[in-house]
Amino acid sequence: MDLGLKGKVIAVTGGGSGIGEGITRACLAEGARVVILGRVTAAVRQLMEEVNQKGLPCELVEMELADTRQCRTAIDHIQAKYGELFGLVNNAGANDGIGLENGTPERFMESLQQNLLHYYALAQFALPLLKASVGAIVNISSKVAMTGQGGTSAYAAAKGAQLALTREWAAELLPYGIRVNAVVPAEVMTPLYQTWLKTVGDPEKELSRIKSRIPLGHRMTTIEEIGALTAFLLSPTMSGHTTGQHLSADGGYVHLDRALT
């Protein structure tokens, strides 16, 4: 299926690992030019070595997303180098476990800066380019925004805000034809998820328990599935009339009757 993304410039925050890697690979497979924004890790270096060897149009801009000045510099770089930007995928973030009992107002605000502020900053700085391209924004949220989890107030607040901003921006940007949608993953195997599993007493037992509660196939959602859905939502041809939507890619984990598990 041709999603109409060939040659289009798409910025993906945290696009070098985990869910972001799945999004980057999906967009590259459609012929897009991907600009990864975020920190450099071993996984990011490995991905960049691979795409460079294959000659794929993918660039890494090393930056600290929590710094709004660096967000502006990154968008200025894209404008100077490419002269355009069609898609912005706000993806980077981490569940840092800042809860109501174990946190402080200061840590809460720090977490929002890490997980939420760059969604707004990049969208605002990129807006002139997105207007010119009649582009699209996809915000990657989390099922925690809908279900709660316990012990993670700041992350839940950020993820809930991302869903609210998706609808707000979809409304505000209607005059420009810019579509804004959100993907809501639940249980996806990523490096961060693997790190969390190592903190529980019996990782294999815990993983089996989680899988057993996922109705469709009793398995985790893959980063490839999240990437494919994100690429579809970016598509001006296949999802050109889709905006303001929150799409759950989770095997029915959140919305289906608990009796099914």
Q: Angle 105-112/153-172 helices, nearest 10 degrees?
A: 40
Q: Which amino acid is at 60?
A: L
Are the C-beta atoms of 15 and 38 separated by less than 8 Å?
Answer: yes
Instruction: Tell me whether strands 87-90 and 136-140 are parallel, antiparallel or unpaired.
Output: parallel
List, in sequence order, the alpha helices (H) in 89-152: 105-112, 118-133, 144-147
Are the C-beta atoms of 253 and 143 separated by less than 8 Å?
Answer: yes
Q: In sequence order, which residues have a C-beta less than 8 Å from that of residue 126 and are 6 or more positions away? A: 11, 75, 78, 85, 88
Q: 155 catalytic, yes or no?
A: yes
Strand order in the sheet with 87-90: 58-62, 33-38, 9-13, 87-90, 136-140, 179-185, 246-249
103 three-state secondary structure: coil
Classify residue 198 by burial, with Cβ atoms within 10 Å: 0-12, 13-18, 19+.
exposed
Instruction: Tell me whether strands 9-13 and 136-140 are parallel, antiparallel or unpaired.
Output: unpaired
Backbone angles phi, psi at 237, to 5 degrees: -100, -45
Q: In sequence order, which residues have a C-beta less than 8 Å from that of residue 68 and are 6 or more positions away? A: 117, 118, 121
Please tell me which residue in 120, 155, 176, 193 is annotated as part of the active site: 155
Q: Which amino acid is at 54?
A: K
Instruction: Please give the positions annotated as active site.
Output: 155
